Structure 1
Amino acid sequence: MIEATDLVGAMTTDEKVDLLTGQGMWRTHGVERLGLPALVMTDGTYGVRYSISQIDEKQEAGVDLDAFLATVNRKANDVEIAWGSMKPATCFPNGSSLACSWDVELARAMGEALGVECRAMGVDVLLGPGVNIRRTPLAGRAYEYFSEDPIVTGELAAAMINGLQGQGVGASIKHFACNNSEVERTSMDSIVDMRALREIYLRGFEIAIGKSDPWTVMSAYNRLNGEQAAESHWLLTTVLREDWGYRGLVMSDWHGIKDRPASLWAGNDLDMPQSRTRRDELLEAVNAGTVSLESLDTACIRIVELVRRSEAGRAVKPKPLDHDAHHRLARKLAGESIVLLKNEGAVLPLAAERLKSLAIIGPSAIEAVIQGSGCATTSPTRVDQPLAEIQAFAGDCEVRHFPGTGSPEALAAALAGAREADVAVVFVNTEVGWDGEGSDRSTLALAEGQDALISAVALVNPRTVVVVASPDAVEMPWVADVPAVLATFFSGQAMGGAVADILFGKVNPSGKLTTSFTRSMRQIPGYLTYPGENGRHVYSEGLFVGYRSHDTLQTELLFPFGHGIGYSGFAYSDLVLDRDTLRDGETVSLRFKLTNTGAVAGRETTQVYVLHGKPRVSRPAHELKAFIKTDVAPGETVDLTLALAADDLRYYDPARECWILDTDDIIVEIAASSRDIRLQAPLKTRSRVGRFREITWDTQPGIILATPIAHAAFRGFIAERMEISEDDAEHILQHCASSFLGMATTLDRRLRQRITREEVQPLLDRINADIRAWEQQPGD
């Protein structure tokens, strides 16, 4: 096989430029004379969206006017209007649903299934998963994303990518970075401070890329701190390639590049989809010498290497496609992901043999709400109807359905039916169409009239169960009035069956929230600066995203991050750490016991948080650092072991541009949610790195005196400079300790001693060099 460099060397400039430009909507260009094939890619963060007209018929990018106008008001169920005739594919739980499983093995299994379906359709690269942080539950594409936390996001994304790529299909992790809102998404400038950027918004990408090596990374539409993300050398080269060591291909989001030559220099290799305008701009820049042949060849080599990976993937015999098996997997995934938020009085599970009648209320019990709108929308192979699935479990129990909405008569009928039933199950959802790409939600409320419907039903039947389908968190003004609430998020085509499994106890619910449910929109961190203005969106909450804000401020929530209950109870005990002090490069092992105190087998997601003591920099009260999901039989006690690496406890120092382990006395927390801490143990973290700040011309004397190396150096300098003893120099330093000015300025002001910058700079350089040398020495 010809080496990639030799193959690129044999190409003409026109062929190279074509190679870096999409062909139609979903293909790359090949170079037929050199035996380099084109690749096929398509969307799908939770299902393969295969457009027959755009892929098989090689329809060019763009549509005619009539077709365009037909797509303007498309909804989630109108996918054929938007994308033409679609091949059916399994619609798995969407990201915000799947993540609630907290199960990396299930995520891997879903990735494998997606890979099998891609192989069957001839798709080489699947454009997913989406791993942006769910900074606000209003975000239009929040349903595609995993969590408000980067650890959950990164771990689940890595598992899904490994499953997908294990089937010989490349992933495209997206959208890099800070695509956290759909408001003016191609031009809005996300203004994010460096610590929040590194510790929150880039961290999930970093974890996933490090653990799965996705074949491609997709750059985001938005600007980031003043630069178009698709044209940011800092983001695509400095961070992605130099800091993280990524060697794969970077592609643009569709029409996400505004300056093609600039994007290539930044590290954005492939421009998607086909654009003659941008292609010609690149060719002109190459011919003019403003884009170097070296950067052109480097990008082309990455394309060739991607094709080689795909060819190797195609050579692997795929697993047979079995849509029925994939539907069963979708049902299992949904069952593991649906969150039982509340179950007062053990209303659930339902025992059909003890029920005479059930009232099933709401239109979505018939027309299930299973997915969001936009590019990720999948044409499902089949859809479970919740009502039919409930009837299958009900036996001799009478099951009646009432729409409940649309007219006063429909509401009256629903209330009459609920009053007569043993249990009322109300299916509700957010407004369909405001849950997807291109628009953020404007409210956390359910669709019009549904909050009132729940309240009315609860008044006539104290055994009311509410099943909520939503892209992200919703407000629940009625939550105190109902005993049981299930959150399905968008659980995919098998949602109806999974809900029935949980309602009747076939499945013991084990999903837990990966986002916080606030009582109102005003409690969302960053609410006051959302969605930005004049093209700038300031992430004013900084590090304090989601539970990091709520738990630090002790906000009164509906349901906290990590919350979810089941039909079992779990007890935690006997936490032991294998060390009391953790230093750079070390790992601490956590051992504890988990007991199922219930009467049925269950699965528990244990979360590990770190509670900061007196950190040197601003940090949230506590932060998730690890998690594990465990099967436990009734009455069984299992021994669990988790590891925390010192690297995972670091913070990012923008001044030094590096990660630093704090010197702090922290608490390791074993928890059932961020507000349900079951076990605690102390742990010291010790590192010399970053313990002392850099000393500059205007560093205040108090800081200098608190830095032993600087303290001694200034004492010696003053003694020599003023021809006095070191004891007298120490007295001078102590006299200056309270000054709010720099040391040199303080000596001038208080003792009329004029010291120039030229005199002090060698001293400052020596101090800072000695501090760096001291940091590298062993010891605390």
Structure 2
Amino acid sequence: MNKSNKPCLSAMSIEDKVALLTGNGLWKTAHLPAHGIEPLTMTDGTYGVRYSPEQIDNDGNWSITDFLGVVNQHADDQTDKKGSEALFGHTLPATCFPNGSALACSWDNELVEQMGQALARECQALGVDILLGPGINIRRTPLSGRGYEYYSEDPLLSGELAASLINGLQGEGVGASLKHFACNNSEYRRTEMDSIVDERSLHEIYLSGFKRAIDKADPWTLMSSYNRLNGQQTSQHRGLLHDILREQWGYKGLVMSDWYGVKDRPASLLAGNDLAMPEVARDKSELLSAIESGEVSIDAIDTACMRMLELIERIGAARKQPRPVDMPAHHRLAQRIAEESIVLLKNTDDLLPLDTTHTHKIAVLGPAAHTPVIQGSGCATTVPSILDRPLDEIIDVAGDAADVTYSAGVADGATSSEQALLLASAQAEAADVAIVFINTAVGEDGENGDRQHLDVVASHAELLNAVASVQSNVVVVLMNSDAVVMPWLGQCKAVLETFFAGQGVGRAIANLLFGLKNPCGKLTVTVPNSLEETPAYLHYPGEALKHYYSEGIYVGYRYYDKRKMTPCFPFGYGLSYTSFEYRSIELVNDKLGTGESLQVDVTVANTGVRFGKEIIQLYLSFPGIELAQPPLALKAYAKVALKPGESKTVRLTVGADDFRAWHPALHDWIVEAGCYQVKVGPSSRELPLSAAVQVAGSDYRLPLKEDSSLVQVIKDEQAFQRVVTLVADKSGLDQAVITERLQAIAPELFCGLFIALTEFLNVPVSRPELLDALRSE
């Protein structure tokens, strides 16, 4: 505890302390002028500062309808009919950066940190102290309504990118709130559903990204989620918030609830959920009553209050004077991030980049070319400060060298129209190339509800089919929250996957289409052939308010690799206009002792004719002796820029903890001794370089019981010797004879140790005596 806060705390009444641990209105913390405590201001979201003066500056005059307006905001609710102001709460314009599903495809820690810095500057200009993000829940199913906010199906990548964003924010004096902790992997009945997750999957998949972000960035706050986890509400889950987060991980920051995420305020406080948001009178009265009855101790209250006071002090010390924000510069950054994030999925016959010396007539089709789908729906939705329309940017980049025509091809953005379809087909047939923009339904994503399928808008697929029937050179530009199925893939030559790439996506698309920029984004999820093949399909969305994570650790690419299935596009995949050659791999040390890290030098060359960036991916293949393992797991990556003909050697580091696996019988991490394969390449399904490293492993013993097999007991030399000694004492036989006999019969015995000794060998040993021998040190 910070000693400077103690006098302030000792001077507070119980009512003051309860107020300190409860929201003040919808977006602020307590204002206690008698103690010199000014309120902190927080707001959404993870990719843009969503600031509503009506809600934040109105001195706490708000209602539940205000909050519902946040949750239910659609991505197309950006402007009124005059286009002058936001429909929702007159939200102020801000830079709408690429959403998480797009941003992560950059695999660019430095660029993500720059985005965090820009978000912080916009926060400071508005007086925002905490930005509620980033969100890093695993994209377990592409149906998840908030999948567009999250980074990846892989925890390492999620944790690394989150750490970069947090460091960017907090380095500029604005606090982050890492969320949603934990296992909020779908939006279906999100405040009721119980995520049933086995212990190993919880630690290796769903918590490890949070752990990595905390270790590398120390977020000032962390937000608990709405759902239950293995039977307990996460906001009052002591095992999660205290035992794991604070005791195991050593997290010192403040834990706040998601908005209205507290169902039992005393229980949440005792579990480690310090701050309840937003202000709820019932929460205050229930906590006061619990203190008076002795259910909640003053020590518990003071511990939470100290975290709150330390947060206030931390933000006060880091806060910078507001200064003018260079919004045009932030827009250029949004454009650059979009350029680095867009993934080239297909490019048959090198149709892209377009060359206007040969391509004179270009048909641009689809409503999203004129009104791009740049973000998802819900509380993270941002009113963009500027909006690049792809059609305008394509016309600008093409210049006078090409004749660009446009047709929506549908009515009202999504409705099939025979007349509109005929016009689009005619334009496509007369052109040298057709660029067709297709997207998922606006508003199908977001909070409190999941997607119902993985298809693009039906009328958009119909448009693509019609265009492909009259034009062989078709480029598809996708705008979607998460992975979609692509039954139309064979009808186009090129595909640009943008996900939701923010307000600068229009210019980014144009620059990539015409080769002013070279695509370098790579997928952070696996793109399936069908919904039915996705790992979570059989048990999504659950029943009887329970959602079983039945695929265990086999999430995303781990599942496809384990089952030897070929997805539509694999994790880590992305094309370029140049080519790269993976030339060599060298391990700095091919033998690792306990707790040592591995350094790997990888040489990559640009063998093409264009400047380009390659994302080098390193995967480990585990021995799998004690624990079942996926064939591959991402453990390091790096992004390297190369001129034509240039080669570079990049050093990748695999941390000591990256060799660990969670042992559910031991309830702890272990490192299995053995040979680990190091595989490096451009995607999870293309790994041309490999090397082997011998790892010493950790010293662990499995717990032995009376029904453990004799084979298992023999593996524990000390326990086996104690059993041999016990048998010798009871039978009078020589220990060497007993040892030889037990080792000889062990493979044939089908029963447990106690039965083997008492029934097959007639040794007069009791259960307590045997258990004592097995457990003694």
Counterpart selection for 2:502 from 468, 487, 492: 492
Q: Quick check: 1:582–1:646 contact (8 Å CA) kept in 2?
A: no
Structure 1's 68 and 172: CA in aligned 2 closer, same or farther, altered over 3 A? closer
Structure 1's 542 and 70: CA in aligned 2 closer, same or farther, altered over 3 A? closer
C-alpha distance in structure 2 between counterparts of 1:201 and 1:736, whole Å: 39
Q: Quick check: 2:440–2:479 contact (8 Å CA) kept in 1?
A: yes
Aligned twin of 2:414:
none
1:398 aligns with 2:407: no
Aligned twin of 2:739:
730
Q: Quick check: 1:426–1:467 contact (8 Å CA) kept in 2?
A: yes
In structure 1, the residue corresponding to 2:448 is in which secondary structure?
coil
In structure 2, the residue corresponding to 1:449 is in which secondary structure?
helix
Task: Pick which of 704-713 and 132-141 moved more.
Answer: 704-713
Q: Quick check: 1:584–1:647 contact (8 Å CA) kept in 2?
A: no
C-alpha distance in structure 1 between counterparts of 2:687 and 2:504, whole Å: 33
Aligned twin of 2:715:
706
C-alpha distance in structure 2 between counterparts of 1:684 and 1:256, whole Å: 47
1:300 maps to a residue whose letter is C
State the Cα distance separating 1:79 from its structure 2 match.
5.2
State the Cα distance separating 1:319 from its structure 2 match.
5.8
2:724 maps to a residue whose letter is R
Aligned twin of 1:54:
55
Aligned twin of 2:475:
465
Structure 1's 614 and 24: CA in aligned 2 closer, same or farther, altered over 3 A? closer
C-alpha distance in structure 2 between counterparts of 1:609 and 1:281, whole Å: 50
TM-score scaled to structure 2, two decimals?
Answer: 0.96
Q: What CA deviation, in whole Å up to 9, does each residue of 1:42-79 have, x standing for no partner? A: 01100000011001123434246xx7998897521225
In structure 2, the residue corresponding to 1:761 is in which secondary structure?
helix
Over the residues paired in the alignment, what is the CA RMSD in angstroms? 1.6
In structure 2, the residue corresponding to 1:460 is in which secondary structure?
coil
C-alpha distance in structure 1 between counterparts of 2:485 and 2:333, whole Å: 31
Aligned twin of 1:241:
246
1:386 aligns with 2:385: no
State the Cα distance separating 1:271 from its structure 2 match.
0.5
Aligned twin of 1:227:
232
Q: Quick check: 1:94–1:144 contact (8 Å CA) kept in 2?
A: yes
1:353 aligns with 2:352: no
2:719 maps to a residue whose letter is A
Task: Pick which of 374-383 and 731-740 moved more.
Answer: 731-740
Q: What CA deviation, in whole Å up to 9, does each residue of 1:727-763 have, x standing for no partner? A: 4313541335422222121122213333102222331
Q: What CA deviation, in whole Å up to 9, does each residue of 1:177-231 have, x standing for no partner? A: 0000000101100000011000000000000011101110000000001000000
C-alpha distance in structure 1 between counterparts of 2:206 and 2:654, whole Å: 21
Q: Quick check: 1:719–1:728 contact (8 Å CA) kept in 2?
A: no
Query: Which structure 2 residues correspond to residues 552-563 of structure 1 after superposition, within 5 A?
Result: 552-563=562-573
Aligned twin of 1:103:
108
2:660 maps to a residue whose letter is R
Counterpart selection for 1:144 from 135, 140, 149: 149
Q: Quick check: 1:146–1:153 contact (8 Å CA) kept in 2?
A: yes
1:639 maps to a residue whose letter is T
C-alpha distance in structure 2 between counterparts of 1:73 and 1:125, whole Å: 22
Aligned twin of 1:374:
378
C-alpha distance in structure 2 between counterparts of 1:409 and 1:382, whole Å: 32
C-alpha distance in structure 2 between counterparts of 1:373 and 1:333, whole Å: 21
Aligned twin of 1:34:
35
Q: Quick check: 2:125–2:323 contact (8 Å CA) kept in 1?
A: no
1:644 maps to a residue whose letter is V
Structure 1's 711 and 737: CA in aligned 2 closer, same or farther, altered over 3 A? farther
Aligned twin of 1:772:
none
TM-score scaled to structure 1, two decimals?
Answer: 0.96
Aligned twin of 1:442:
452
Aligned twin of 1:775:
none
In structure 1, the residue corresponding to 2:688 is in which secondary structure?
strand
Aligned twin of 2:727:
718
Structure 1's 263 and 63: CA in aligned 2 closer, same or farther, altered over 3 A? closer
Q: What CA deviation, in whole Å up to 9, does each residue of 1:210-261 have, x standing for no partner? A: 1101110000000001000000111111111111111110000000000000
Q: Quick check: 1:583–1:646 contact (8 Å CA) kept in 2?
A: no
Task: Pick which of 82-91 and 412-421 moved more.
Answer: 82-91
C-alpha distance in structure 1 between counterparts of 2:697 and 2:72, whole Å: 57
Aligned twin of 1:276:
281
C-alpha distance in structure 2 between counterparts of 1:72 and 1:209, whole Å: 27
Query: Which structure 2 residues correspond to residues 4-403 of structure 1 after superposition, within 5 A?
Result: 4-63=5-64, 74-78=73-77, 83-314=88-319, 316-317=320-321, 320-396=324-400, 397-403=402-408
Task: Pick which of 484-493 and 641-650 moved more.
Answer: 641-650
C-alpha distance in structure 2 between counterparts of 1:145 and 1:69, whole Å: 22
1:293 maps to a residue whose letter is I
Q: Quick check: 2:444–2:451 contact (8 Å CA) kept in 1?
A: yes
C-alpha distance in structure 2 between counterparts of 1:212 and 1:131, whole Å: 14
Query: Which structure 2 residues correspond to residues 518-533 of structure 1 after superposition, within 5 A?
Result: 518-533=528-543
1:646 aligns with 2:648: no
Q: Quick check: 1:451–1:477 contact (8 Å CA) kept in 2?
A: no
Q: Quick check: 2:48–2:380 contact (8 Å CA) kept in 1?
A: yes
Query: Which structure 2 residues correspond to residues 567-606 of structure 1 after superposition, within 5 A?
Result: 567-606=577-616
Q: What CA deviation, in whole Å up to 9, does each residue of 1:485-540 have, x standing for no partner? A: 00000000011111001001111010000000000001110210000001100000
Aligned twin of 1:631:
641
Structure 1's 294 and 70: CA in aligned 2 closer, same or farther, altered over 3 A? closer
Aligned twin of 2:704:
695
Q: Quick check: 2:539–2:547 contact (8 Å CA) kept in 1?
A: yes
Aligned twin of 1:662:
672
Task: Pick which of 85-94 and 657-666 moved more.
Answer: 657-666
Q: Percent identity?
A: 47
Q: Quick check: 1:695–1:764 contact (8 Å CA) kept in 2?
A: yes
Counterpart selection for 1:615 from 625, 630, 641: 625
Q: What CA deviation, in whole Å up to 9, does each residue of 1:12-70 have, x standing for no partner? A: 11111111110110000121011111110001100000011001123434246xx7998
Task: Pick which of 20-29 and 695-704 moved more.
Answer: 695-704
Structure 1's 144 and 702: CA in aligned 2 closer, same or farther, altered over 3 A? same
Q: Quick check: 1:22–1:270 contact (8 Å CA) kept in 2?
A: yes
C-alpha distance in structure 1 between counterparts of 2:122 and 2:71, whole Å: 29
2:334 maps to a residue whose letter is A
1:361 maps to a residue whose letter is L
2:329 maps to a residue whose letter is A
Task: Pick which of 19-28 and 352-361 moved more.
Answer: 352-361
In structure 2, the residue corresponding to 1:22 is in which secondary structure?
coil
C-alpha distance in structure 2 between counterparts of 1:12 and 1:505, whole Å: 65
Q: Quick check: 2:666–2:702 contact (8 Å CA) kept in 1?
A: no
The runs of 4+ residues in structure 1 deviating greater than 6 Å are 67-73
State the Cα distance separating 1:474 from its structure 2 match.
0.3
Gaps of 5+ in 1: 770-780
In structure 2, the residue corresponding to 1:564 is in which secondary structure?
coil
In structure 2, the residue corresponding to 1:668 is in which secondary structure?
strand
2:18 maps to a residue whose letter is V
C-alpha distance in structure 2 between counterparts of 1:731 and 1:63, whole Å: 75
Q: Quick check: 1:22–1:273 contact (8 Å CA) kept in 2?
A: yes
In structure 2, the residue corresponding to 1:175 is in which secondary structure?
strand
1:534 aligns with 2:544: yes
C-alpha distance in structure 2 between counterparts of 1:474 and 1:669, whole Å: 28
